Structure 1
Amino acid sequence: MENLNIKTIKKLILKGQWFLSEHALDRLIERNLKISDVLVSILNGEIIETYPEDPRGASCLILGKKDNIPIHTVCGLMNDNLVIITVYLPEPPKWIDERTRGGK
């Protein structure tokens, strides 16, 4: 399995080796986002947090933008494919800004 880094993530997106979790699909619908919005945000994004100890497998948080709107995407790897675990807009109170976590 390849390392979870932004280069690998972008390569998997471009090769079509990705899928959405059911949770991510629900969040897209809930937030009125398109899959293309998320893919564009990942392709122009950067990893801002890593979760190597996640019990479900190593994952990371990507900050990207679509039409200047910040989008957070949590991704992991499964069977050499990228899994888009969840997608959300970084908003208060959980986020002070797109890079800074707020209070709980």
Structure 2
Amino acid sequence: MKFSFSGHVFRRMAERGFSPDTIESVIESGTVIKSYPDDTPYPSRLILGFDGVRPVHVVSAYNSEDDTEYVITVYEPDPLKWSNDFSKRR
């Protein structure tokens, strides 16, 4: 699988202290907590993973035709807005 990071995502990753390796790891081994099958041009999903003990949410879309994962955004979920396990909005 290839990964595609837009300039916007790279800026957000730098602002939020996430590396490309961390994001790739979350995509490969994290838990999908929400799917958006009707998104275009590709279905997307919200994935929960961890960078050590730090929770990470990654929104990405997968294009099976060229085996590319398009990273849309990444962020650390706000504990005031998410459940204790960061998998559900409050």
Q: Secondary structure at the match of 2:83?
A: strand
- Structure 1 unaligned residues grouped into runs of 5+: 1-11
Residue equivalent to 2:49: 64
Of the three residues 33, 38, 46, the one matched with 2:18 is: 33
Instruction: Give aligned-pair identity as a percent.
Output: 33
1:96 aligns with 2:83: yes
Mapped to 1, the partners of 2:61 and 2:20 lie a distance apart of 17
Matches within 5 A, 1:1-104: 12=1, 17-78=2-63, 80=66, 81-97=68-84, 98-102=86-90
Native 8 Å contact 2:3 2:24 kept in 1: no
Is 42-51 or 76-85 further displaced after alignment? Answer: 76-85
Query: 1:56 deviation in Å?
Result: 4.2
Mapped to 2, the partners of 1:57 and 1:40 lie a distance apart of 21
Q: Structure 2 length normalisation: TM-score?
A: 0.80
Mapped to 1, the partners of 2:41 and 2:8 lie a distance apart of 14
Q: Number of matched residues? A: 87
Is 83-92 or 34-43 further displaced after alignment? Answer: 34-43
Query: 1:42 deviation in Å?
Result: 2.2
Q: Structure 1 length normalisation: TM-score?
A: 0.71
Native 8 Å contact 1:51 1:60 kept in 2: yes
Query: 1:54 deviation in Å?
Result: 1.9
